[in-house]
């Protein structure tokens, strides 16, 4: 079976092997400290990215808490693909393509629900929530019952890490653990903030459309250079200390985690300040229930957890965990991206969850002050890179002061472009390597 057949049945033209390399010269367009502007605007690049990144590597799709009960389902996506994430009666998680095997109609209409089967509205074909066909009306037209060997398309590989569901359209390739590498430890850091060791994605998702290329969003997520300029208004209104974390005086670092993942590691600053819940902009007195539960669970080790707080990590290509909230990046065209956002909820911490939700709404809600600033920059950036000169974007910041840490990872200063360089190194590999 070819990748294309796996992706989308017989209607999708299989990509010519090596077509990306023959068409777009990625080797020349990505330099160690420069990237070419056309990578953000060229529809041919976007088409190549779908085949070589979005329909191939591990992509974050959803969280098991969104389909907590048997037969729960929720509509998700992998890039432009409409994917239904289901939990079958036996508890297994499935990723099904929302396309009827008869004439291609959308099978699942509701955004979420609970059902063991789906019925296509066009001619009434039905499917189990595992993708197998259940039946079809007027069976004589097919020579009798059970004569059709058809079903819903499936994302062939589904893996779950700490409740985070990832899918890969490639039947073979690196495992999810290999893909995540050290970034898995950042997910671990998030879930250990829950008194029950689990996060929940139950706050609902907001969708923000940006008329910009998805890579501008992904690169920005761990860009520590922009916050004090782009977000100065919210930092001053909220009397926030976040701006200082991303300054030349900050001891925080930017780290490339391999495979295109990156983080702003703010722990050095939080440790220096040494205040439990300081990472959350508050004190332990404001959250006595939560802090009490964590101390009862972890003993003396709770102090480190409460001081170090949550990660700020971009997991290639589309999952961004920003301390209290999560973002899923969905590319739709070279110049169109949807950013899905939700508040992280910690299982067993209702007092904390209320505040996380409030902070999330204030920063990335419909009238939130943080993401509106970023989105303005994404769209200005997209308009700017369409200009013809200069052709290149510069990503050299901090090159001279990078070092390799004890884990072999590249580390830069709080405001350096170390994460972007890691992103582009991996991107170049995916866009140019020979495929099996």
Which residues contact Fe ion by CB under 5 A?
A: 374
What does 416 bind: Fe ion, ligand FES, none (CB cut-off 5 to 8 Å by kind)?
none
Minimum separation from the CB atom of position 106 to ligand FES (A): 9
Minimum separation from the CB atom of position 223 to Fe ion (A): 7
What does 120 bind: ligand FES, Fe ion, none (CB cut-off 5 to 8 Å by kind)?
ligand FES
Which residue's CB is nearer to ligand FES, number 137 or number 300?
137
Minimum separation from the CB atom of position 76 to ligand FES (A): 21
Which residue's CB is nearer to Fe ion, number 6 or number 318?
318
Minimum separation from the CB atom of position 154 to ligand FES (A): 17
What does 122 bind: Fe ion, ligand FES, none (CB cut-off 5 to 8 Å by kind)?
ligand FES
For 352, counting Cβ atoms within 10 Å of its Cβ (0-12 exposed, 13-18 middle, 19+ buried), the class is buried
Question: Do the Cβ atoms of 83 and 61 come closer than 8 Å?
Answer: yes
Minimum separation from the CB atom of position 98 to ligand FES (A): 11
Minimum separation from the CB atom of position 109 to ligand FES (A): 12
| Contacts of range 328-332, beta carbons closer than 8 Å, 24 or more positions apart | 328/60, 328/205, 329/214, 329/217, 329/218, 330/77, 330/79, 330/214, 331/46, 331/49, 331/54, 331/79, 331/80, 331/213, 331/214, 332/79, 332/80
With a CB cutoff of 8 Å and minimum separation 6, the contacts of 29 are 35, 36, 38, 39
Return the SS3 of 381: helix
Nearest to 50 by CA among 435, 320, 333: 333
What does 103 bind: ligand FES, Fe ion, none (CB cut-off 5 to 8 Å by kind)?
ligand FES
Per the structure block, which two tokens stand in for 226?
């922009």
What does 100 bind: ligand FES, Fe ion, none (CB cut-off 5 to 8 Å by kind)?
ligand FES
What does 374 bind: ligand FES, Fe ion, none (CB cut-off 5 to 8 Å by kind)?
Fe ion
Minimum separation from the CB atom of position 121 to ligand FES (A): 7
Question: Do the Cβ atoms of 339 and 207 come closer than 8 Å?
Answer: yes
Which residue's CB is nearer to ligand FES, number 124 or number 384?
124
Which residue's CB is nearer to ligand FES, number 105 or number 162?
105
Instruction: For residue 170, count other CB atoms closer than 10 A to its CB.
Output: 18
What does 229 bind: Fe ion, ligand FES, none (CB cut-off 5 to 8 Å by kind)?
none
b/e map 125-145, b = 16+ CB within 10 Å:
bebbbbbebeebeeeeeeeee
- Give the interface with ligand FES as residue ranges (CB under 6 A): 100, 102-103, 105, 120, 122-125
């Amino acid at each position: 079976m070819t990748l294309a057949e796996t992706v989308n049945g017989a209607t999708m033209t299989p990509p010519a092997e090596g077509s990306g390399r023959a068409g777009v010269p990625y080797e020349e367009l990505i330099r160690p400290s420069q990237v070419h502007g056309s990578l953000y605007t060229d529809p041919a690049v976007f088409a190549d990215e779908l085949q070589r990144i979005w329909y191939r590597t591990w992509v974050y799709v959803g969280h098991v808490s969104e389909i907590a009960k048997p037969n729960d389902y929720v509509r998700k996506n992998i890039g432009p693909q409409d994917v239904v994430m289901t939990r079958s009666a036996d508890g297994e998680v499935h990723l099904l393509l929302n396309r009827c095997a008869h004439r291609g109609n959308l099978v699942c209409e509701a955004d979420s629900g609970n059902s063991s089967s789906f019925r296509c509205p066009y001619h009434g074909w039905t499917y189990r929530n595992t993708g197998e066909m259940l039946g079809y009306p007027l069976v004589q037209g097919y020579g009798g019952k059970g004569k059709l060997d058809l079903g819903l398309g499936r994302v062939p590989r589904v893996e779950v890490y700490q409740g985070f569901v990832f899918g890969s359209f490639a039947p073979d390739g690196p495992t999810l653990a290999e893909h995540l590498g050290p970034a898995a430890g950042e997910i671990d850091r998030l879930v250990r903030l829950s008194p029950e060791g689990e996060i929940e994605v139950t706050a609902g998702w907001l969708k923000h459309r940006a008329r910009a290329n998805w890579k501008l969003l992904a690169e920005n997520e761990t860009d520590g250079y922009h916050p004090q300029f782009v977000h100065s208004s919210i930092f001053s209104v909220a009397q926030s200390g976040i701006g200082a974390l991303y300054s030349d005086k900050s001891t925080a670092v930017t780290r490339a985690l391999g495979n295109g993942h990156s983080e702003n590691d703010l722990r050095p600053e939080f440790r220096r300040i040494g205040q439990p819940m300081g990472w959350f902009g508050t004190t332990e007195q404001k959250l006595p229930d939560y802090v009490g539960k964590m101390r009862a669970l972890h003993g003396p080790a709770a102090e480190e957890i409460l001081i170090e707080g949550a990660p700020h990590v971009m997991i290639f290509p589309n999952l961004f965990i920003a301390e209290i909230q999560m973002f899923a990046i969905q590319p739709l065209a070279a110049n169109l991206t949807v950013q899905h956002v939700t508040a992280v909820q910690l299982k067993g911490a209702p007092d904390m969850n209320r505040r996380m939700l409030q902070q999330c709404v204030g920063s990335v809600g419909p009238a939130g002050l943080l993401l509106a600033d970023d989105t303005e920059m994404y769209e200005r950036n997209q308009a700017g890179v369409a200009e013809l000169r200069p052709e290149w974007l510069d990503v050299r910041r901090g090159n001279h002061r990078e070092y390799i840490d004890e884990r072999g990872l590249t580390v830069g200063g709080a405001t350096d472009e170390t994460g972007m360089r890691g992103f582009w190194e991996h991107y170049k590999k995916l866009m140019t390597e020979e495929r099996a």
